[in-house]
């Protein structure tokens, strides 16, 4: 197995949680550099050289830098995972794994981002309640899909924990933060509690 030289640029509560969590689950060495989340820093040439849109996280490994948390997870798995936390490529399980990884960020996280922008991030005068209402409905539809899937299994891909659960775990953390993950989705709530009880998650969210 290769020995990692992973450096994660981190802000607590952001998507860098996913990368730290994965490294903990794989028990590979990594370094965290906590960065300034101010707009001034995120617009600086120094940070834009690592993350062109100014977002978090970014990650160094060996002689290059990359951004996008989902891409980071897949890279770390491919380089250091030795087949762990992901199904065999080309298998049915792998297809479902990819489906849920993409769903967690591309489909489910998007309306949660809209909620965040129109309840917290934008100046109050620019917030649009109708956007929040629509986004909440879309997020609940996504939560319905998760709830149904984990009503009969421990994790997204049957009873085996994979990196898809790490991708989804952070998204559910956002859903919980914005009061989307409610008691009328009991299977999803129980699933989230299983994820948050894992030592790797607890290290990641406390870092």
- Residue 205 in any domain: the answer is no
pLDDT at 1 over 80: no
Query: Do 36 and 99 reside in the same domain of the chain?
Result: no
Of 46, 80, 114, the one marking the end of a domain is: 80
Q: How many domains does the chain have?
A: 2
Quick one: which H or E segment has residue 59? Answer: strand 58-61
Alpha-carbon span 161 to 159, nearest angstrom: 7
123-135 pLDDT, tens digit per residue, is 999 999 999 999 9
Q: Are residues 152 and 173 in the same domain?
A: yes
- What CATH number is associated with residue 125? 1.20.1050.10
69 & 104 share domain:
no
User: Are 63 and 102 in the same domain?
Assistant: no
Give domain status of residue 190, yes or no. Answer: yes
Q: What would the pLDDT profile of 187-198 be if each residue is shown by its tens digit?
A: 999 999 999 999
* Mean pLDDT for all residues in the chain: 97
User: Is residue 3 pLDDT above 60, yes or no?
Assistant: no
Using a pLDDT cut of 70, give the percent of the chain over it: 98
The predicted-structure confidence for 23-74, as pLDDT tens digits, reads as follows: 999 999 999 999 999 999 999 999 999 999 999 999 999 899 999 999 999 9
Question: Does the residue 87 lie in any domain?
Answer: no
Assigned token pair, 202: 């607890």
Q: Does the pLDDT at position 114 exceed 90?
A: yes
Q: Residue 5: its pLDDT value, please?
A: 83
- Domain containing 121 equals 92-198
Specify which residues 64 forms β-bridges with: 61
End residue of a domain, out of 40, 60, 80? 80
Task: Please say whether the beta carbons of 167 and 18 come within 8 A.
Answer: yes
- Residue finishing a domain among 48, 80, 112: 80
**Residue 204 in domain:** no
Q: Percent of the chain having pLDDT more than 90?
A: 96
Q: Quick check: 76 pLDDT over 90?
A: yes
CATH number at residue 23: 3.40.30.10
> Is residue 183 scored above 90 in pLDDT?
no
How far are the Cα atoms of 41, 77, 157 from residue 87, in angstroms, in the given order?
39, 11, 9
Per-residue CA distances from 75 to 19, 65, 71, 81, 90 (Å): 10, 12, 6, 9, 17
Is 186 exposed, middle or buried (CB count within 10 Å of its CB: 0-12, 13-18, 19+)? exposed
């Amino acid at each position: 197995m290769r020995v990692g030289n992973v450096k994660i640029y981190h802000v607590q509560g952001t998507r860098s949680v996913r990368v730290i969590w994965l490294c903990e689950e794989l028990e590979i060495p990594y370094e965290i550099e906590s960065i300034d989340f101010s707009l001034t820093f995120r617009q600086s040439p120094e940070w834009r050289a690592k993350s062109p849109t100014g977002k978090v996280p970014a990650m160094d490994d060996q002689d290059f830098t990359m951004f996008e948390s989902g891409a980071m997870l897949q890279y770390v798995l491919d380089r250091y995972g030795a087949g762990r936390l992901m199904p065999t490529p080309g298998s049915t399980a792998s297809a479902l794994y990819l489906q849920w990884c993409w769903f967690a960020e591309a489909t489910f996280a998007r309306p949660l981002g809209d909620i965040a922008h129109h309840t917290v991030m934008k100046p109050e005068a620019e917030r649009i309640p109708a956007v929040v209402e629509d986004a909440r409905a879309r997020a609940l539809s996504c939560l319905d899909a998760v709830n149904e899937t984990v009503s009969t299994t421990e994790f997204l891909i049957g009873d085996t924990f994979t990196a898809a659960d790490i991708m989804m775990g952070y998204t559910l953390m956002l859903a919980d933060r914005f009061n989307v993950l409610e008691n009328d989705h009991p299977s999803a709530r129980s699933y989230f509690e299983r994820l948050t009880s894992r030592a790797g998650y607890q290290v990641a969210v406390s870092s």
